[in-house]
Structure 1
């Protein structure tokens, strides 16, 4: 009975399969691009009888200080995923408008669009990286939102900020360029936040899930100019941020915590360089994609090697890429975790 009530787009929807949606067992978890660093926070829980601030002032101010923006340019969200959802709900009309994305890329852009009956203009990463801006804009067509994951998940590739600026300029009055910077802390000099001073059609997605080591908090930020965000503020839920989440986020954005985060990023980037060397020297690996972020994506010669890793308790993220199903994404862990990867790579064929 209930199935007959479903809209066609929801009935046909293929849900996003996150790394944690698969019921796996293991001892070394390198499949969800999480940080290996656990942190402790102080919580005061004697005020949960009151609703929280819709946009907690202390957190917003702390993120403004971190990102060098003003409060009108920052919106706190439930992970960057809510920012994706909000932009579509605010700026795209269901059954009429479209978005553009560059595959392979983060899967939630497609899921959010499909959920809201928004058409998808699926372009390629190679077009984004290799074509000129005029050609890209022609291919984007009438899309209202153009998603650029930068660094891109799962390939790690980078689109230069100058190219993003040129896209925004060419699409002014036609589309919003949405730059997903979930992994930007691993290459902060590549951030597009500086474009907000010149463009009112650029939005930047940020998260505390990766470098800030708070994947379990589900906290993100949507950064854009005041006019762009004013419409989004109409659409967001009245109390999107819980009191407990706000308390932890405020502590995570203190100057000492940001310094610690940057130190951990430096360690992880060093671990990544060592992993890339291991992978490039391994006979199990046929190709390693070089790029930014706290992960490395590679192609195996034999897909069965993934099963061997899982049997030893090392959980990584297999997927299909460019039509082949022998690709693997390895999150960058601590030295002990990467030692398990080395042991797997050195197992005899």
Structure 2
């Protein structure tokens, strides 16, 4: 079985415990790229199953599109679509993000979403002999990558406050290659304190990588972990414009990491970190990151809609997992299964999210507009029997 790797890269993979069959899977995974995302994306699958006109609160999408000022910047680039990169758009994005986050621009890389870098960091630092540690439940894309690669995964339950139990994560595999924290966590929306994240960064194996997925961090009015990537070579921060910025269909994500870490991530398919992204998305993202007042207003709008539904459910005696600071929350249906309630609500023309195996009776509900959450409340009233 052949692979596409340079001889020194192939030997490095062998030294880390990969078989030639597993190396072929690495090559296939990287080669699949955006096509794999298109086929397997959970949000796209759910949308395809929804009834026409249904309330769509199942894929953690924003209920509205980009900020108007950012959309205007994107449209300007549409009119300049005959040029590959007018006005040095990538660098303007990196400089805008650097100014907001305090991250050196040379530590910022743009991607078509987060799936590619999440797979790459698993390939580069985990292996059949160096596993991956995550919470449970959490965003499980890295589980699927690990299964494809043959890397062992340790899944550690959340704390009683629904944060990542960082000490239990380290104890679960003291020699892991990758430790993955999603904060706010998908699906619970709960935040792991930055101090706990720093503890894991300081106590994990020195050659392991800490990945902090902050896809939902803009919904939080508080600190984040980005500063860890400003000076360390063993921390990777994932960001996306798909959530608060309303750009899910425009496919723009970021990583914050040292050039050294990024170089290793990029070596397995010979690619460089200079590919071209759609200039419309880049321009839209550049303007979006600087809109502090608009971010605050959209966050407040989401919080009000979320709390309206949470209060409605609690008033009916339905348990909601507490502490969400993101555009989702988890509903515990008691003796009813999540799949039963998902079907019942879909029959009422409201599409909610799925459950995770560890919690078969708990559904994830995304937060939509106030009108959409009122429709969700009405649908629950229609189908719920205590």
Q: Same fold (TM over 0.5)?
A: yes
User: Counterpart in 1 of 2:45?
Assistant: 21
* Residue 227 of structure 1 pairs with residue 260 of structure 2: yes
Report the Cα distance in structure 2 between the residues aligned to 1:338 and 1:162, rounded to whole angstroms. Answer: 34
1:184 and 1:295, CA in 2 relative to 1: closer, same or farther beyond 3 A?
A: same
Report the Cα distance in structure 1 between the residues aligned to 2:59 and 2:230, rounded to whole angstroms. Answer: 33
User: Counterpart in 2 of 1:313?
Assistant: 349
Aligned residues between the structures: 336
Which of 190, 208, 217 is 2:250 aligned to?
A: 217
Q: Deviations over 1:291-323 (max 9, x none)?
A: 221111111143444333212211111324435
1:45 and 1:212, CA in 2 relative to 1: closer, same or farther beyond 3 A?
A: closer
Compare the two structures and name the one with the higher strand fraction. Answer: 1
User: Counterpart in 2 of 1:166?
Assistant: 199
Superposition pairs of residues 25-64 of structure 1, within 5 angstroms? 25=51, 26-39=53-66, 40-41=71-72, 42-45=75-78, 48=81, 51-52=84-85, 56-64=90-98
Q: Deviations over 1:31-65 (max 9, x none)?
A: 01111122333243465565449981111111112
Superposition pairs of residues 124-203 of structure 1, within 5 angstroms? 124-126=157-159, 129=163, 133=167, 135-197=168-230, 199-203=232-236
Q: Is the 8 A contact 2:94 2:108 kept in 1?
A: yes
Q: Deviations over 1:312-342 (max 9, x none)?
A: 2111113244352x32111111111011012
Report the Cα distance in structure 1 between the residues aligned to 2:76 and 2:89, rounded to whole angstroms. Answer: 18
SS at match of 2:197: helix
Q: Deviations over 1:184-211 (max 9, x none)?
A: 1111423111223453322111110111
Report the Cα distance in structure 2 between the residues aligned to 1:194 and 1:274, rounded to whole angstroms. Answer: 34
* Residue 282 of structure 1 pairs with residue 316 of structure 2: yes
* Residue 340 of structure 1 pairs with residue 375 of structure 2: yes
Report the Cα distance in structure 1 between the residues aligned to 2:90 and 2:378, rounded to whole angstroms. Answer: 46
Q: Deviations over 1:55-94 (max 9, x none)?
A: 811111111122121111211111122221222233345x
SS at match of 2:277: coil
Q: Deviations over 1:81-138 (max 9, x none)?
A: 2221222233345x443222111110211122233343323333249948573x5423
User: Counterpart in 1 of 2:278?
Assistant: 242
* Residue 99 of structure 1 pairs with residue 137 of structure 2: no
SS at match of 1:100: strand
Which of 260, 264, 269 is 2:303 aligned to?
A: 269
Q: Is the 8 A contact 1:30 1:315 kept in 2?
A: yes
The CA RMSD measured in Å over matched residues stands at 3.0
Which of 280, 287, 290 is 1:251 aligned to?
A: 287
1:220 and 1:346, CA in 2 relative to 1: closer, same or farther beyond 3 A?
A: same
